[in-house]
Structure 1
């Protein structure tokens, strides 16, 4: 095999290929990433806005993949950054590096099963999700007609798509409609599925084994590492972008909850195959027990709560026994979905009753949806991450915000890198090429009334309208809640008309919205904090960012 070009040669070609200029911070970061890969020492690298950090980790990752003939994995927190890497960064990089490497670098995006059409469900292999299951018992589906039309459209699209990937459906559909044509990993029949050879998920994962760079998300990477399902191909290097989000994403992945709604939905799912009367009664016990507690942390289980959870556990155990197929061939889609629902409740009850030393138990109430939940999560995921994520591969973690008080120690501690027996790691801050005082203006509208619970004031809307008109559109609006974003979008559409179109998060897939925003300088895009992570809109299409209230996460 011919010797690979040096990292400097590849970086030079990459920067030229994307129409950029050399940046000292980017070059320094790329060298540090290559050093981490060569030595096996983990790396935390803080790279400010404008560094071009995706190039700085993708080029050494590609070089390593060519060297060892196995893929490097890139995990991000947001769909927006995944789309940017796959749709923009990697295609341009592949074009630029192909002449030096002798072949075109390859890449693939790997997602959870819920992001793909299920061929078996499309052909009637699973029961339809009805309104109660989709919306929660007691709620009314006012959009049933629209959902039905969307499902018809999805079935037509299923005959045309090669990937079955939800992100390729433009415009997108509602979550309610998508659930009618997809299944979760627990609901999947796996190798026993009669159409497994046509499965979009299995085809995507098979393709991922042959590429140089696999792009995925934090949660998928965590599930792969913790549960040992081998959903990702064999690899020895992981780059974690938006790394400041990783601990929260991992914690969310292993957080469990019980609600009366999920128990009732599971009872309904299992009702065709098992006696669910005891489970329904236990849901009422849980409801009564939860009503006796205030929202917040529990330092132990009260007698009513423990009695309710033991009743749920016993009922779930009995149903699980009834649902076991006499032989594997009997396990059809209806039975598998019922088993998945009841096993989830069973394992959550077991975990709560175990009262593990590091687990925290608390009650949360969503007043808007009128849902009270009993939740359990680990106090810290540090040691779990040390063993499962940092133990068997080299990990490069990067973000614009990793240091605290000029040190990486705090973040490293939450990741499990510090303390006795911790792995070797290095920290590096490469700064930012931007001169913020000269290149940007920070403006606080101090004359506006303080934001309240009733939403934004008319004075605030006046200010937003004035700013958007002054900027000629080109505006990203970040709001502290979806309700605030939607309210502002509606107000601006009335005020601005067709002169400055306003897009709002949730109205379509994130990638589609960002592409529309970037392609038309007059357009504005409103949403919540997830919009600013991984959304890169260079050039003149984005020149104003509005934040509705501070502090903002």
Structure 2
């Protein structure tokens, strides 16, 4: 690695950053500034010369000498350079992350310049300008640190010195700007890494009590909506009607009356503020939270932003609104402390060499002091700052988030400052909890488990819930209520009981460390722990993948998985494919039932001491409950719940699956074996069990128990092309899900809910896929059309000549269309392999035209970051799969063309084939394809001023035309005609 010399140059035109800014000259790297372009790069040399380079020339420069760049990992990937082969770079994003931790910045030179207000937001600089501004950005950031009033200065100074010793490229710049750190006695900062020491502690509060039952009238919801949109805002009748309909979910529940509202609101209706209005009113007047649940992290962020309109004061919003996710999303302070301690030890000794692993931890330490809630996945942690920091096993992964079952709760030294515990307590006192479907349904799935006192644990979110992105509720329920018996899952259970058995692991805590001191004074306590640890050897141990592949499986779980793998490979003719393989469970190969029986017996032996340990915890809680410290009581309750979830749910489910091998699965369930592969590598071996209809448990444990639920989306209903068959025949596959419209409740106080009888078929899919059909009372149903003029704002083309074209032909079609649009184009693929192949062929062609191409599963960035870049660069192009199809919100002409590679039929795997057979055969496939097309189409037009072209590179069957808005005509044309018509339409 090269260490570039420093320059003492300064920019006297830069103003002081604060009232008491000192006017010291700041150092900047004596390195060339490099900005990537579609064709290669632009370099501003240290002599002030602008040089244009090809990709090959850029790659050689990056290996040979240091540069000032933006996003090291992406730059290396873009130019085909291994990170280890690059000369030490000066990544401006690292400096930004140090100076402005937990603040957003699009990770491009343009994004950095705009964030620092170095360029006019309406101006898109040329690459030569950006190279100059990149150097200005470095100076600006360094000057910000030089301000005596810079917040967090003491930690920053101590940390800069530590990171400099570790070999951080920016170390000399930052230490010079901050100056020498003050003494530990004055600041309490030794290395600066100990960010956990000064976090505020959370406090326990009194129980909130049961919610009230005061209703929210439609006119009251309208009043709150007017407050949210503000005076002078556009008057949208559809939004007011929607808010009125949503308020029906916040009425007191009456016997036999509907408490579920299904509301479809077309794009542009304004549904987010429409349901926030009644939800916030109900929460305020009934002293209870409303849970707003989304499917994607992107919408969670959008909801959080929208709630600022309700609570503009940051302190009030902090007390009223909380974002909740699963534990695995949050930084674990104990993980960080242990990682930081090991890294710091490498630079503590005089003359010790630098420790590069400390540098990312230093950047995270800065973020810890600034973060709102410790959320590393979709929160305010910049995903580009330390890629893979959250989860171990990712590229460059450190693994700092919480792992299942790893937490020791009140036995942890960071318990009182824990981000997860803080979020949990805040949600109990918040008015609005912004969560996701996975968390809401997982909590609900555990609601049948009795607590340590023998009472049923009712999920804290079962009163009033809004499921936005309601078209994904079926899939979320499918994941929450399924069971998987796999190598990964059994190894996780073994680690949870025995602790880590791998020498290189950072953590070794097992069940003994979590509960040993709680039951050590009880005679049988230590013995039961010994028995549980011994019985856990039945499960897959460290290195299980290698042993199974080399036919050396040595535990009952590994032997069972080896037989599962053998059956999958035997029953698949193309077992060399890089993709995952699956096969039916029955009939099993000869030795499989016996190995399944041994594993089932072993699991039964494992469950016995675990249940006994849970009994000891429950007994102690009941006998000593009044005298226990609150933290100890909560620790006992947490440990009890963790054990019971495994012995009362997981292990019995595994045993039932194993005992059923060789017999037909229970009616209503689907089982199969799977060999999971990723990029050609075997990742896991599994037996899976899913509900044929996962909305059955959804209705039972969530919808039926709740006081009021709103399920909403822009694409709730399926709209098949009307046939001549009677309505009841069309609905037959859905088991009579429809109800007579005349049985609907009177909605005279709000918008008209009644639909014409022929519209029943449109609601059938919504009732099936949301669980409404399983409730005793019918759902209240409302639909609100989009206000957009799609007939004039959109052109739709189905290119009939491609069919299942070769990859080079497919890439050529994308090139022709993307060039016709001049960028601003989004390509949606139904398969990752096809996306990657097209990207490889398409990128050089677009680069020759000066168009940047980004791609999910190719570029070293998460989907959210790629979308942010796509939004900020008007003429860039983006390729993605379903995650992009469902999560893009790009108003304006940054998105003006959307191209589907083919009709998005569902993949005919074992689970889908079973559901297709149960839900109407080919019509079920048609419904899913239409809903996917509707969702994708909704990405294209986000405002009344948008114009766009929607193209599918395949014949579009007439039966799928219901996916498009009324008035939109599909033009079935050739590729050349589609390209020319697109260019003409977009250039009008």
TM-score band w.r.t. shorter chain: 0.7 to 0.9
Query: Within 1, Cα distance between the matches of 2:226 and 2:488?
Result: 56
3-state secondary structure, aligned to 1:21 = coil
1:188-220: CA deviation from partner (whole Å, max 9, x where unpaired): 223443321111111122223333221111111
Alignment of 1:28-67 (within 5 A): 28-38=241-251, 40=253, 41-67=259-285
3-state secondary structure, aligned to 1:495 = helix
Residue from 666, 672, 675 that aligns with 1:362:
672
Query: Within 1, Cα distance between the matches of 2:357 and 2:587?
Result: 43
1:110 equivalenced with 2:415 (yes/no): no
Question: How much does 1:26 deviate?
Answer: 2.1
3-state secondary structure, aligned to 1:443 = strand
The match for 1:478 is: 828
The match for 2:885 is: 532
Alpha-carbon distance change, 43 to 161 in structure 1, aligned in 2, over 3 angstroms? closer
Residue from 533, 541, 544 that aligns with 2:894:
541
Q: Are the counterparts in 2 of residues 257 and 376 from structure 1 also a CA contact under 8 Å? A: yes
Alpha-carbon distance change, 484 to 381 in structure 1, aligned in 2, over 3 angstroms? same
Q: Are the counterparts in 1 of residues 810 and 838 from structure 2 also a CA contact under 8 Å? A: no
The match for 1:288 is: 563
Residue from 232, 239, 243 that aligns with 2:466:
239
Q: Are the counterparts in 2 of residues 259 and 373 from structure 1 also a CA contact under 8 Å? A: yes
Question: How much does 1:289 deviate?
Answer: 4.5
Task: Compare 70-79 and 507-516 and name the one that shifted more.
Answer: 507-516
Question: How much does 1:305 deviate?
Answer: 3.0
Q: Are the counterparts in 1 of residues 267 and 714 from structure 2 also a CA contact under 8 Å? A: yes
Q: Are the counterparts in 2 of residues 402 and 411 from structure 1 also a CA contact under 8 Å? A: yes
The match for 1:254 is: 481
1:151-182: CA deviation from partner (whole Å, max 9, x where unpaired): 67546644654532113222342242556212
Residue from 807, 812, 819 that aligns with 1:469:
819
Question: How much does 1:442 deviate?
Answer: 1.0
3-state secondary structure, aligned to 2:798 = coil
Over the aligned positions, Cα root-mean-square deviation in angstroms equals: 4.1
The match for 1:136 is: none
Q: Are the counterparts in 1 of residues 323 and 434 from structure 2 also a CA contact under 8 Å? A: yes
Question: How much does 1:542 deviate?
Answer: 1.6
1:22 equivalenced with 2:235 (yes/no): yes
Query: Within 2, Cα distance between the matches of 1:350 and 1:146?
Result: 47
Residue from 294, 305, 309 that aligns with 2:596:
309
Question: How much does 1:84 deviate?
Answer: 1.6
Question: How much does 1:290 deviate?
Answer: 4.3
Alpha-carbon distance change, 465 to 38 in structure 1, aligned in 2, over 3 angstroms? same
Query: Within 1, Cα distance between the matches of 2:485 and 2:785?
Result: 44
The match for 2:136 is: none
Residue from 77, 85, 88 that aligns with 2:295:
77
Task: Compare 8-17 and 62-71 and name the one that shifted more.
Answer: 8-17
Query: Within 1, Cα distance between the matches of 2:301 and 2:688?
Result: 32
Q: Are the counterparts in 2 of residues 83 and 511 from structure 1 also a CA contact under 8 Å? A: no
Question: How much does 1:48 deviate?
Answer: 1.9
3-state secondary structure, aligned to 1:448 = coil
Query: Within 2, Cα distance between the matches of 1:483 and 1:151?
Result: 34
Query: Within 2, Cα distance between the matches of 1:31 and 1:473?
Result: 41
Question: How much does 1:300 deviate?
Answer: 7.2
Alpha-carbon distance change, 156 to 354 in structure 1, aligned in 2, over 3 angstroms? farther
Query: Within 2, Cα distance between the matches of 1:200 and 1:37?
Result: 31
Residue from 388, 396, 414 that aligns with 1:195:
414
Q: Are the counterparts in 2 of residues 72 and 212 from structure 1 also a CA contact under 8 Å? A: yes
Query: Within 1, Cα distance between the matches of 2:613 and 2:248?
Result: 53
Query: Within 2, Cα distance between the matches of 1:237 and 1:270?
Result: 41
Task: Compare 238-247 and 308-317 and name the one that shifted more.
Answer: 308-317
1:502 equivalenced with 2:721 (yes/no): no
1:214-270: CA deviation from partner (whole Å, max 9, x where unpaired): 111111110122213979755632111111211221111222223345546766766
Question: How much does 1:544 deviate?
Answer: 1.4
Alpha-carbon distance change, 289 to 221 in structure 1, aligned in 2, over 3 angstroms? closer
Query: Within 2, Cα distance between the matches of 1:46 and 1:387?
Result: 23
Question: How much does 1:491 deviate?
Answer: 4.2
The match for 1:164 is: 374
1:122-174: CA deviation from partner (whole Å, max 9, x where unpaired): 23399x9xxxxxxxxxxxxxxxx999975675466446545321132223422
Q: Which has the larger radius of gyration?
A: 2
Question: How much does 1:359 deviate?
Answer: 3.0
Alpha-carbon distance change, 502 to 149 in structure 1, aligned in 2, over 3 angstroms? farther
The match for 1:223 is: 442
Question: How much does 1:322 deviate?
Answer: 8.2
Question: How much does 1:33 deviate?
Answer: 0.8
Q: Are the counterparts in 2 of residues 313 and 346 from structure 1 also a CA contact under 8 Å? A: no
Question: How much does 1:354 deviate?
Answer: 5.9
Query: Within 2, Cα distance between the matches of 1:194 and 1:392?
Result: 37
3-state secondary structure, aligned to 2:845 = helix
Query: Within 2, Cα distance between the matches of 1:194 and 1:211?
Result: 26
Alpha-carbon distance change, 179 to 224 in structure 1, aligned in 2, over 3 angstroms? farther
3-state secondary structure, aligned to 2:883 = helix
Alignment size in residue pairs: 519
1:447 equivalenced with 2:793 (yes/no): no
Question: How much does 1:449 deviate?
Answer: 5.3
3-state secondary structure, aligned to 2:435 = strand
Query: Within 2, Cα distance between the matches of 1:154 and 1:398?
Result: 37
Question: How much does 1:50 deviate?
Answer: 2.1
Question: How much does 1:424 deviate?
Answer: 4.2
1:396 equivalenced with 2:710 (yes/no): yes
1:12 equivalenced with 2:317 (yes/no): no
Query: Within 2, Cα distance between the matches of 1:91 and 1:369?
Result: 45
Q: Are the counterparts in 2 of residues 94 and 105 from structure 1 also a CA contact under 8 Å? A: no
Ranges in structure 1 where 5+ consecutive residues have no aligned partner = 129-144
3-state secondary structure, aligned to 2:823 = coil
Alpha-carbon distance change, 83 to 232 in structure 1, aligned in 2, over 3 angstroms? farther
Question: How much does 1:530 deviate?
Answer: 1.8
Query: Within 1, Cα distance between the matches of 2:644 and 2:863?
Result: 29
Query: Within 1, Cα distance between the matches of 2:404 and 2:487?
Result: 23
The match for 1:417 is: 772
Query: Within 1, Cα distance between the matches of 2:856 and 2:822?
Result: 21
Question: What is the TM-score of this pair, normalised by structure 2?
Answer: 0.47
